[in-house]
A and B are shown apart, each in its own frame.
Chain A
Amino acid sequence: MSEKIKFTIDGKECFADKGKNIVEAAKANGIYIPTLCHLEGIEAAGSCRICNVKINGKFMTACTTEVADGIIVENNTPEIQELRKIIVETLFVSGNHYCAVCEKSGNCDLQALAYRYKMLVPRFPFEFEKKEVDAYSSKLYLDRNRCILCKRCVRSIKTKDGKSIFAIKGRGYKAMINIDYELANKMTEEEARKAMDTCPVGCIIRKEIGYITPIGQRKYDKKPIGSEIEEPVTK
């Protein structure tokens, strides 16, 4: 048995296994901390910043911070909610998100977070910056209008000998996701599907197959993102 650690989130007493990060530790206690760049099983990036919580009064990203004995975590406070809304809204205006024509609509984590936070309109002006769509590789296309630069694909999709298929190109607001055509063309169908599933938004899309799940049955049609953590299914 691994050692249990005691801590609190918003005053609620929680327990977790040593070595867990705070997102996972919260989840084990039925508390949802929103994430975009985080993906269980791969190294945390801490880049989307939406999992920011206050730990003993200090802002830290929950995905990059290991749970420790006696820490006091603040998660659902107005200050933190405001920050998270601002991050979601920033992502909506920094890309070009036409949900109506996006294959990931209904299954998109960014959209789902906007729903969860009841975003009716981003508070920021839309910039409509030009983003290149890249359809050169045979199995996948990249719609960079939708990319949020979470680097999930960069970190988790590799060739068998460990080479990167995806990487970031450029820096700052001009940074974009880049794909190695040669390596991408060698991906199996399964690997291509994994790449698409890894993408929290609709940037990495498999060619030839689409819109499989009807509206109404998609991941976030009925229940908010995070509700599966907050109201675990009781059998």
Chain B
Amino acid sequence: MAKPIVATTALASCFGCHMSLLDIDDRILELIELVDFNKSPVDDIKKFTQMCDIGIIEGGCANSENVHVLKEFRKNCKILISLGECAIMGGLPAMRNDIPVEECLAEAYLNGPSTKNSNTEKILPNDAELPCILDKVYPCHEIVKIDYFLPGCPPRADLIWNALVALVTGDEMKLPYEVIKFD
């Protein structure tokens, strides 16, 4: 039987969930035995080359590119997992959700401590290559169907490990008390 194929990505997030994935320590070697990676920062494959079994999403959707990538994952993965608070509920980026976009942009590019003296022409970045900021940061499952949720900021390595093993082996996922944490 072929090994299940895993793809991963980080949307609006800090990459901490991917770091936590590496926190499974030497079990990473077992993981390599269990699965193959496709599109992922782990192996630096940029584009999907085949249909994947499991897609792991870190981060919520803060801009149009996040939405695009998320939809790509939905198309190319049989199972999608929201990994971490940002994917699940927007996380810290979503703390801007009750602030109008206008104010967010002004704080970032016009009035913020790092820009107010340097951006003398008061330019808001607007290049066709740049994605458009969304009105708020969206949890992934409000845009596409998500099959599983692994909370945490970051999710504990054991939670990720337990979940992946359960998915690959078909066994029931172990959820001991210590692994479900939101911080």
Binding site for B on A (CB under 8 A): 96-102, 105-106, 111, 114-115, 118-122, 125-126, 128-131, 215, 222-224
Q: Which residues of B contact A99 (CB under 8 A)?
A: 85, 153, 182-183
Residue of A96, A100, A118, A224 near B182 (CB, 8 A) is A100
Q: Which residues of B contact A96 (CB under 8 A)?
A: 94-95, 97-98
Q: Return chain A residues, CB-CB under 8 Å to B91.
A: 98, 100
Contact of A128 among B98, B141, B150, B178 (CB under 8 A): B98
Q: Contact: B88 with A121, CB < 8 Å?
A: yes
Determine the residue in chain A with the shortest Cβ distance to B150. A120
Contact B149 A128 (CB under 8 A): no
Given A120-B149, A128-B136: A100 touches B180 (CB 8 Å cut-off) = no
CB distance from A69 to the nearest CB of B (A): 37
Q: Cα distance A101–B183 when bound, in Å?
A: 8
13 pairs, CB–CB < 8 Å, chain A vs chain B: A97-B182, A100-B92, A101-B95, A105-B182, A118-B175, A120-B148, A121-B151, A125-B142, A126-B139, A128-B98, A131-B98, A222-B178, A223-B177
Q: Are A126 and B151 in contact (CB under 8 A)?
A: no
Determine whether the beta carbon of A120 is less than 8 Å from that of B142. no
Q: Are A126 and B90 in contact (CB under 8 A)?
A: yes
B82 on interface, CB distance cutoff 8 Å: yes
Other A-B contacts than A100-B91, A118-B175, A120-B150, 10 sampled, CB-CB below 8 A, are A98-B85, A98-B94, A101-B95, A111-B182, A115-B177, A119-B180, A120-B88, A128-B97, A128-B136, A224-B177
Which residues on the A side are within 8 Å of B149 (C-beta)?
Answer: 120-121
B side interface size, CB within 8 A: 27
Smallest CB-CB separation from A132: which chain B residue?
A: B98
B181: interface (CB < 8 Å): yes
Q: When the two chains form their complex, are residues B85 and A128 in contact, meaning their CB atoms are under 8 A apart?
A: no
Residues in B neighbouring A111, C-beta threshold 8 A: 182
Interface string of B129-170 (1 = CB under 8 A from A): 000000010010110000011110100000000000000000
CA distance A126 to B138 in the complex (A): 9
Contact check, B183 vs A106: say whether CB atoms are below 8 A apart.
Answer: yes
Residues of chain A with a CB closer than 8 A to B97's CB: 96, 128
The answer to whether B151 touches A105, judged by C-beta atoms less than 8 angstroms apart, is: no
C-alpha spacing A96/B181, complex, angstroms: 17
The verdict on B62 contacting chain A, using a C-beta distance below 8 Å, is no
Bound-state CA distance A29–B139 (Å) is 42
Q: How far is the CA of A29 from the CA of B50 in the complex (A)?
A: 58
Bound-state Cα–Cα, A114 to B88, Å: 14
Q: Is the CB of B153 within 8 A of A126?
A: no
The verdict on B89 contacting chain A, using a C-beta distance below 8 Å, is yes
Tell whether A101 pairs with B92 under 8 Å between CB atoms, given A128-B136, A129-B98: yes
